[in-house]
């Protein structure tokens, strides 16, 4: 099990670069999302000698120069300086909160219902089923045929490299839940969990969680790290034995 400091540093360093995104890193991390994921810019990982107002203004100007109109900023306890007050004064709206959880994989035990089956994604049909879940849950655009094939190439190459896995859960044979994980420095970063609304509360998220833990342990991960939304997955993670290490908050700023 990693130490508390290692867990907090790993949480702060975690950022996603979607395929076809643009990004830059100076005194903070900025990522321009492709239109398929709603566009806009995500900011995080502040490490600056400038004051908070200057950091926020730089992020706003870069967002404008990219031709985008929305800046979503994820704050973290390790940010220096803390920019939350500057964001609020600038008119940003608090739109989301995630709880940072971690736990030794060996110490975790997840109860999975008998009528739910989880499987590792490795075929084009499975990738198509994953997309059919993600589109309504994340309100994103569906992949076309070329996009599905590109996604399959990425899924299979990272699976064979032992660095990443995507999991699918079925309820009565129907694909209803999915999630992925990436192994970095002994951590299994659990991400992208999504369940169709009609199947929620049936244990499919737990099945996806258990399978990701199993596979990532086989890849050499020792600590599971996850950011769970306070209104959805956070209570499930707490019941599964994860320890809460703090919260990260998202702000939306129209620029």
* pLDDT at 58 (0 to 100): 96
* pLDDT at 1 (0 to 100): 73
| E runs forming strands in 105-238 | 116-120, 164-171, 174-184, 187-195, 223-229
Q: Cβ neighbours of residue 160 under 8 Å, at least 6 residues apart?
A: none
Task: Tell me the sheet residues that pair with 227.
Answer: 100
- What's the start-to-end Cα distance of the chain, in Å? 42
* pLDDT at 96 (0 to 100): 93
Task: Tell me the sheet residues that pair with 182.
Answer: 164, 189
In contact, 251 and 95? CB cutoff 8 Å:
yes
* pLDDT at 125 (0 to 100): 98
* pLDDT at 229 (0 to 100): 86
pLDDT tens digits along 180-209: 999 999 999 999 999 999 999 999 999 999
* pLDDT at 240 (0 to 100): 87
Q: Cis (ω within 30 of 0) for the bond into 101? A: no
* pLDDT at 160 (0 to 100): 97
pLDDT tens digits along 23-32: 999 999 999 9
Positions of the chain with pLDDT lower than 50, given as ranges = none
């Amino acid at each position: 099990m990693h130490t508390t400091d290692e867990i907090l540093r790993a949480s702060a360093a975690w950022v996603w670069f979607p395929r076809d995104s643009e990004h830059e890193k100076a005194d903070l991390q900025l990522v321009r999302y492709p239109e398929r994921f709603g566009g806009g810019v995500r900011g995080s990982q502040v490490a600056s000698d400038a004051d908070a107002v200057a950091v926020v203004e730089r992020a706003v100007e870069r967002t404008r120069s990219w031709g985008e109109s929305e800046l979503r900023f994820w704050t973290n306890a390790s940010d220096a300086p803390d920019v939350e007050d500057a964001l609020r004064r600038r008119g940003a709206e608090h739109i989301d909160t995630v709880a940072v959880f971690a736990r030794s994989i060996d110490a975790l035990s997840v109860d999975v219902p008998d009528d739910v089956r989880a499987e590792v994604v490795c075929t084009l049909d499975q990738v198509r089923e994953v997309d059919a879940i993600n589109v309504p849950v994340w309100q994103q655009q569906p992949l076309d045929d070329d996009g599905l094939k590109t996604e399959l190439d990425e899924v299979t190459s990272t699976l064979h490299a032992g660095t990443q896995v995507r999991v699918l859960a079925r309820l009565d044979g129907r694909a209803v839940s999915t999630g992925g994980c990436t192994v970095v420095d002994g951590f299994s970063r659990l991400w992208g969990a999504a369940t169709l609304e009609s199947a929620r509360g049936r244990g499919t998220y737990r099945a996806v969680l258990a399978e990701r833990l199993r596979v990532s342990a086989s890849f050499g991960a020792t600590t599971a790290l996850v950011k769970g939304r306070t209104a959805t997955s956070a209570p499930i993670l707490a019941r599964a034995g994860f320890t809460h290490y703090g919260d990260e908050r998202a702000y939306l700023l129209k620029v």
